[in-house]
Amino acid sequence: MSPETLSKRTLLFVNAAHALDHFVLLIYPTAVIAIAAQTGLSYAELIGLATGAFVAFGLCSLPMGWLSDRFGRRNMLAVFFVGYGLSCLGVASASQPAAFAGWLLVLGVASAIYHPVGSTMLVSHASQLGRDLGVNAVWGNLGAASAAGVTALIAASLGWRAAFVLPGLICLALGIAFLILVPGDGEPHGSRSGKAELIPLSRPAALLVVFAIAIIAGGMTFNLTTIALPKILDERLGLELPLALTGSLATLVFVFGAGAQWLMGRLVDRYTLPALFVGLALLQPIGLAIAAATQGVTLLLGLVLTMTAIYGQVVVNDAMVARYVPAQHRAKAFSVRYFLGFTVSGFVVPMLAVLYARGGFGLVLGAAAVFGLIVWCAALAFYILAQDSRTQAATPAE
């Protein structure tokens, strides 16, 4: 198999894995509405059972980069497909709270494989970095976008268990196809146009700190918004809509995020990353503040603005890891990046339950707006520090 063919096949499966990673993880937040109606348990109690899944999503991402270096990225991605499929079938078999919590935890561990492993494979096989990052991000966003709508439709017509069984079977089928069609990792091709050009820095420690703050706060806004979105629309839109239509509206909101990711993929190759970062981050607190203070159509517009900022930032942040971190450390860097973003934000689930119980979604969205403001402040600090680093790098030594 030629290197180009291997790279094309690898990118195709990496993109499909990204879509499934976000799709499957967001089945439960929509299915829980149907589960609550069937079991009589409250939304706050049921959504809390997903805490282990979202904590594991981030916590277990830390060792995945090391494991991929040891056992091969192709092999780890195959484990992702198979593990995700089996855990979906496990959740579908659950009937008691303990079983839900246990199988959701297993699902979270499997989901943690994709980002550190898949992102590194993407950067290694990209033919044009910004474009391929944007396309990959769109796949992930469409997975998240379609989760609410597809889950609602399946749950309404076939029952909530089918909403886990069908994606689980798809994951297993893709895992088998991946093992057959992609025989190995292949070698990165340094001469290709997609090579991530390293940007030299004179103050890497300070930049790392503010980037980490942005990642952690961004993970909070990401999870608060995406997990709660179906219920926010169900409760605050001011319309008595069936579950299927509520899920479809949630999908529409996510689609705007996909458009932002496609655009950011093009802009990454044309403009400086810190400038894109600070401009995009400003939209987060604005959109969340609008959503927190309003209902109806204005709420919907605020959520669209928020999703545009949150998902566009994912492309920019991945490009920053690719451009600022040397290739030999990139898998570990992606592990740390997703560990910070997803582990801390995994505690969003119990926070969401507490905030919702005390002040409804007005309080939930207000808290998310505060985290969005922190993201913007960190992005602004990164921009200033990056400009200082470029100036110092350009100054000749005396």
Average pLDDT over residues 118-125: 87
**Chain segment 277-286, per-residue pLDDT in tens:** 999 999 999 9
Q: What is the DSSP letter of 354?
A: H
Average pLDDT over residues 165-181: 96
Residue that is written with structure tokens 């985290």 in the block: 371
Range of weakest confidence among 32-36, 137-141, 248-252, 297-301 = 248-252
Alpha-helical (H) ranges within the chain are 3-25, 27-39, 43-48, 51-59, 61-71, 73-92, 97-111, 114-125, 129-158, 162-181, 204-236, 243-268, 273-281, 283-293, 296-324, 330-346, 348-394
CB atoms within 10 A of CB 35: 22
Amino acid at 256: F
Note if the pTM is more than 0.75.
no
Read off the pLDDT band of 161 (50, 70, 90). Answer: very high
**Chain segment 96-118, per-residue pLDDT in tens:** 889 999 999 999 999 999 988 99
Residue 230 has pLDDT above 50, yes or no: yes
Structural tokens at position 42: 């409250």
- The chain-wide mean pLDDT, for the chain, equals 84
The reported pLDDT for the residue numbered 190 is 44
* Torsional class of 180: left (φ above 0), alpha (ψ -120 to 50), beta (otherwise): alpha
The reported pLDDT for the residue numbered 135 is 87
**Chain segment 10-23, per-residue pLDDT in tens:** 999 999 999 999 89
Residue 392 has pLDDT above 70, yes or no: no
| DSSP notation for 166-226 | HHHHHHHHHHHHHHHH--S-----TTSTT--PPPP-S-HHHHHHHHHHHHHHHHHHHHHHH
Residue 396 has pLDDT above 50, yes or no: no
The reported pLDDT for the residue numbered 388 is 67
CB atoms within 10 A of CB 329: 12
**Chain segment 318-371, per-residue pLDDT in tens:** 888 878 887 777 777 888 887 887 777 667 778 888 888 888 888 989 999 999
**Chain segment 289-301, per-residue pLDDT in tens:** 999 988 888 888 9
